[in-house]
Structure 1
Amino acid sequence: MAELLSGPAAEPLTRAEAKAFLRVDGDAEDALLDALIAAARRHVEAETGRILMDQTWRFSLDRWPLRGVIPAPVAPVRTILEATVAAADGTPVPLPEDALTLVGDRAPALIRVEPARVSAPLVSHGGIVITLLAGYGADAGHVPADLVQAVRLMLAHLYEHRDGPGEATALPAAARALIASYRVVRL
Structure 2
Amino acid sequence: MRLTLVTEPSEPAIGVDDVKAVLSLHHGDHDAMIEGLIGAVTRYLDGPGGILGRAIVNQVWRLELESWPDRIVLPVEPVASIEITWFDAEDVEQTLGSEAFEIIESGPAARPVVAWNAGVTLPGLGARMFPVRVAITAGAADGASVDDGLRQAMSLLAAYWYENRGAVSAGQAQEIPFGISAMLARYRVML
Q: Which residue of 2 aligns with 1:125?
A: 129
**Count of paired positions:** 182
Q: 1:161, 1:168 within 8 Å by CA — same for their partners in 2?
A: no
C-alpha distance in 1 between matches for 2:40 and 2:97? 38
Matched, 1:18 2:49: no
| C-alpha contact 1:88 1:123 (8 A) present in aligned 2 | yes
From 44, 56, 66, the equivalent of 1:62 is 66
Output one character per residue of 1:8-50: Cα deviation in whole Å (capped at 9) or x when no partner: 1222212212211122232222222112112212222311111
Q: What are the residue-to-residue correspondences of 1:132-151 with 2, within 5 Å?
A: 132-140=136-144, 142-151=145-154
Match of 1:7 in 2: 8
Query: Sequence identity of aligned pairs in percent?
Result: 27
CA RMSD of aligned residues (A): 2.6
Gaps of 5+ in 1: none
Deviation at 1:164, TM superposition (A): 4.3
Secondary structure in 2 aligned to 1:116?
coil
TM-score computed with the length of structure 2 as normaliser: 0.82
Segments of 5+ residues of structure 2 without an aligned counterpart are: none
Aligned-pair CA distance for 1:85: 0.8
Q: Which moved more, 1:4-13 or 1:103-112?
A: 103-112
When residues 23 and 110 of structure 1 are mapped into structure 2, their CA distance, relative to the original with a 3 A threshold, is: same
Q: 2-side partners of 1:121 and 1:174: how far apart?
A: 50
Q: Which amino acid aligns with 1:162?
A: R
Q: Which has the larger radius of gyration?
A: 2
Q: As a proportion of its length, which structure holds more helix?
A: 1
Residues 69-118 of structure 1: CA distance to partner in whole angstroms, max 9, x if unpaired? 211010111111x2211123433221123223223574512112246253
Deviations 1:137-165 (A, max 9, x none): 2232x322332222122212221233449
Q: 1:40 to 1:72 in 2, by over 3 A?
A: same
